Amino acid sequence: MWRSPEPRFDVASAICQGGRDYQEDAIVTDFPAGTDIGVVVLADGMGGHAAGDVASKIVVTEVFSELKFESANFQEYEGEVPNYLTSAASNANACVRDYVVDNPKTRGMGATLVSLVMVENRMYWMSIGDSPLYHLRSGKLRQLNEDHSMAPQIDAMVKSGLIDPETGKNHPDRNCLTSVILGDRVSRSDCPKTPFTLDVGDIVVVSSDGLQYLDEARIEKILQKYRRRKSAEIAEHLLAAINELADPDQDNVSFAVIKLNHNKPVTQATRRKPIDLVGDASAGSTRVVSLDGNGYGDAENATDADAATEAEERPEPFRLVAGGK
């Protein structure tokens, strides 16, 4: 029995529209209490492109559904988690392609992706695009995943003295993506085979690039100041800091805050039922019974002839129609 005073993971998510006309971010978190696994999937629709909100929803829906389906295998086949992440991203890319083929007006839509799987204190991720994955430990913040945009190249130019810091910060190409899910070939992805190990008290933030309207020093200060508070409270302080900027060009913001409360041994295991296992009809199993004919119980006593006659006389099942009853 799970006896910890609090769950292994303390998780909260947040989303806001910022100064944009539409919300093109999508995020889902799943950390069932009583288990030692968790999933976060975040996608940032390509701002200014056709149907970016649709792209982000497709990516989040497809990636999460596949990871959820495989989640019963995460502990027993932990070494396969990077393959699950890669497969889910590939299938999401295919779904975007199929949608664009069926809806040509949406050509050019796309989305970034950060998908994260936690197994106890071990973290795996897949990322495509510029949505950052932050980690805070001992007061120091760093980005764990690669940035698939022009920002790293521009920062390198600033560091080498080719351009001044102010020009680099406001460079018009800074947010140009070098890799994204478009339904086409994905040029770059980040999916380490070796997990990142978290210590108790570590804070992880999975976010869209809208959070980067706050500089890293500000994000680090907020996380460090409120590190002993609940994740939901930390999320509120990050949102408040975004609102304080009052930037009319503020991008959509979505993020999840994850804290590791403890690192005790696994107390419960989740196992998938083998697909070739045939269940019995015991009283404890879920069954379907028929209430047609003379009532409950008749199906067990009916003869083959009765069943044939009943099948001939039984009306066709009704069909659900949108707007119908």
Q: What is the DSSP string of 39-54?
A: EEEEEEB-TTSTTHHH
pLDDT at 304: 58
Q: For the chain, what is the largest distance between any 2 Cα atoms, rounded to a whole number of angstroms? A: 91
State both tokens at 15: 């989303």
Contact 119, 73 (CB under 8 A): no
pLDDT at 293: 59
pLDDT at 297: 54
pLDDT at 163: 77
Strands 253-260 and 140-143: unpaired
pLDDT at 324: 46
Please list, in sequence order, all residues whose beta carbon lies within 8 angstroms of the beta carbon of residue 178, skipping any fewer than 6 positions away: 148, 149, 150, 187, 188
CA dihedral 146, 148, 154, 157 (to 10 degrees): 50
**Residue closest to 117 by CA, chosen among 155, 163, 85:** 85
pLDDT at 1: 38
Please give the Cα distance from 216 to 212 (Å, whole number).
7
Please give the Cα distance from 156 to 163 (Å, whole number).
9
What is the three-class DSSP state of 106?
helix
pLDDT at 2: 39
pLDDT at 173: 63
Please give the Cα distance from 259 to 9 (Å, whole number).
6
What is the three-class DSSP state of 121?
coil
What is the three-class DSSP state of 26?
strand
- In angstroms and rounded to an integer, the radius of gyration of the C-alpha atoms of the chain is 25
The residues of the chain scoring below 50 in pLDDT are 1-2, 4, 299, 318, 321, 324-325
Please give the Cα distance from 60 to 42 (Å, whole number).
6
**Residue closest to 43 by CA, chosen among 21, 62, 66:** 62
Contact 243, 216 (CB under 8 A): no
Q: Residue 120: exposed, middle, or buried by beta-carbon count in 10 A (0-12, 13-18, 19+)?
A: buried
pLDDT at 92: 97
pLDDT at 228: 94
Please give the Cα distance from 4 to 1 (Å, whole number).
9
pLDDT at 166: 72
